[in-house]
């Protein structure tokens, strides 16, 4: 059996990170109303459709009524790094699609293009790249082999995921820049809805 066939049979899990403070938005951006649902639910559906399952990393008290499994960060106050670490620690699968909840342009089709074809044998993750080729670690496919790197970074209090990309043996794949657009402020949100959400 070739590596592509083997990869296609391996179980992949999906996670949406919803643990941010949303301080610049002024309200919980995960729960912003979007396309007849909430933003986090919209992103969760895209992830689920791409890999077949999805769970949320965030506050169960806040998101537990949305119909998805919700898990708190195992190591709080580490930002997205803590969310990715939690996802990989809990996952039943080797490969894990992790996406931030604040990407309203995301789609299952775009995510499928990111995660297929299979990564090369020596690579531990596939990370989307946007404009200028900058890596976006909050839209990526991670193997559980990444856990030691994440654990070390947490111990050393190096919380910026982009700084860890060289250590993760990642493949960087070009991605739809519209799908990677994230919303952090009311102005970002208004601009996105005006230009993309028609």
Domain boundaries in the chain? 3-184
Q: For residue 6, what pLDDT band results from cuts at 50, 70 and 90?
A: very low
pLDDT in tens, 92-127: 889 999 999 999 999 999 999 999 988 888 899 999
Between residues 28 and 99, the one the model is more confident about: 99
Is the confidence at residue 2, as pLDDT, over 50? no
Domain 3-184: which topology?
Spore Coat Polysaccharide Biosynthesis Protein SpsA; Chain A (3.90.550)
Rounded CA separation 87/142 (Å): 10
Q: What does each C-alpha distance from 92 to 10, 54, 55 come to in angstroms? A: 11, 12, 12
The proportion of the chain whose per-residue pLDDT surpasses 70, expressed as a percent, equals 94
In the sheet that holds 70-71, the strands lie side by side as 70-71, 55-57, 12-17, 95-100, 135-143, 125-129, 170-174
Is the confidence at residue 196, as pLDDT, over 80? no
pTM of the model: 0.92
pLDDT at res. 137: 97
pLDDT at res. 132: 85
């Amino acid at each position: 059996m070739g590596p592509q066939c083997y990869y296609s049979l391996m179980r992949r899990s999906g996670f949406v990170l919803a643990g941010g403070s949303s301080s610049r938005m002024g309200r919980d951006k995960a729960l912003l109303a979007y396309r007849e649902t909430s933003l986090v639910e919209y992103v969760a559906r895209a992830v689920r459709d791409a890999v077949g399952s999805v769970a949320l990393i965030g506050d169960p008290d806040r998101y537990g009524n949305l119909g998805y499994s919700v898990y708190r960060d195992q190591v709080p106050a580490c930002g997205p790094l803590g969310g990715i670490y939690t996802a990989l620690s809990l996952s039943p699968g080797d490969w894990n699609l992790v996406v931030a909840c604040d990407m309203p342009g995301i789609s299952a089709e775009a995510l499928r293009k990111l995660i297929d074809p299979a990564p090369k044998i020596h690579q531990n993750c596939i990370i989307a790249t946007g404009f200028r080729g900058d890596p976006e670690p909050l839209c990526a496919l991670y193997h559980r082999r990444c856990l030691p790197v994440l654990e070390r970074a947490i111990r050393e209090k190096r919380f910026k995921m982009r700084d860890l990309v060289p250590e993760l043996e990642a493949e960087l794949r070009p991605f739809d820049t519209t799908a990677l657009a994230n919303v952090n402020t009311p102005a970002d949100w208004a601009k996105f809805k005006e230009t993309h959400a028609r």
